[in-house]
């Protein structure tokens, strides 16, 4: 698949150990493309958590499995209520490709997207959404055009643990 120099190391989650090229190499050999994407999203979520953001991360791949964008939540720092990880990767990929239509792309996110993010993925024509952890009050798959990926939820316990720790700290302050 080859590394993507435009985003290798560009996201804080990619610095200090794992880069997009590393994730692509994992997808080529050790891990499936879905697992590698979720690992990258998990690293972005962890980085967001260290920045006092809700620890959710997302990664977007094109039809060939190349990573287009990786991001974590950032609404607090950006002072932007729409700066969710999913929205950020959709924006980055659209700008990078020069087209808001991200057909045949796959979005991997550590927590099932909220209605705003699901709608944005639908408008961007994302073909597939892979979720790590699921929300307890989930809306049904029929509510969006992009299909929720079935099968194994890679790194779901780790993503859920990041969220549990984050909210436990908030409750005890």
Q: Is the pLDDT of residue 73 over 60?
A: yes
Residue 53's pLDDT band, with cuts at 50, 70 and 90, is very high
Residue whose token pair is 């998990």: 42
Better-scored residue on pLDDT, 165 or 15: 165
On whether the CB atoms of residues 112 and 134 are closer than 8 A, the answer is: yes
Pairing of strands 106-111, 128-133: parallel
Q: Is the pLDDT of residue 145 over 60?
A: no
| 3-class secondary-structure state, position 142 | helix
pLDDT the model gives residue 27? 55
Report the percent of the chain where pLDDT is more than 70.
Answer: 68
**pTM (2 decimals)?**
0.74
Residues classed as catalytic: 86
CA dist., res. 56 & res. 80, Å (int):
15
């Amino acid at each position: 698949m080859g590394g993507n120099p435009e985003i290798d190391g560009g996201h804080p989650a990619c610095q200090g150990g794992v880069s997009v090229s590393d994730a692509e190499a994992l997808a080529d050999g050790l891990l499936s493309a879905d697992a590698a994407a979720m690992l990258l999203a998990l690293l972005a979520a962890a980085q967001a958590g260290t920045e006092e953001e809700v620890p959710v991360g997302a990664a977007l791949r094109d039809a060939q499995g190349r990573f287009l964008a990786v991001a974590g939540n950032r609404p607090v720092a950006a002072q932007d209520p729409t700066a969710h990880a999913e929205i950020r990767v959709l924006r980055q990929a659209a700008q990078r490709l020069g087209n808001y239509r991200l057909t045949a792309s796959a979005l991997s996110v550590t927590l099932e997207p909220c209605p705003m993010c699901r709608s944005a993925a639908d408008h961007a024509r994302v073909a597939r959404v892979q979720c790590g952890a699921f929300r307890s009050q989930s809306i049904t798959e029929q509510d969006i055009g992009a299909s929720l990926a079935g099968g194994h939820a890679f790194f779901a316990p780790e993503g859920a643990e990041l969220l549990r720790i984050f909210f436990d700290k908030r409750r005890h302050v």
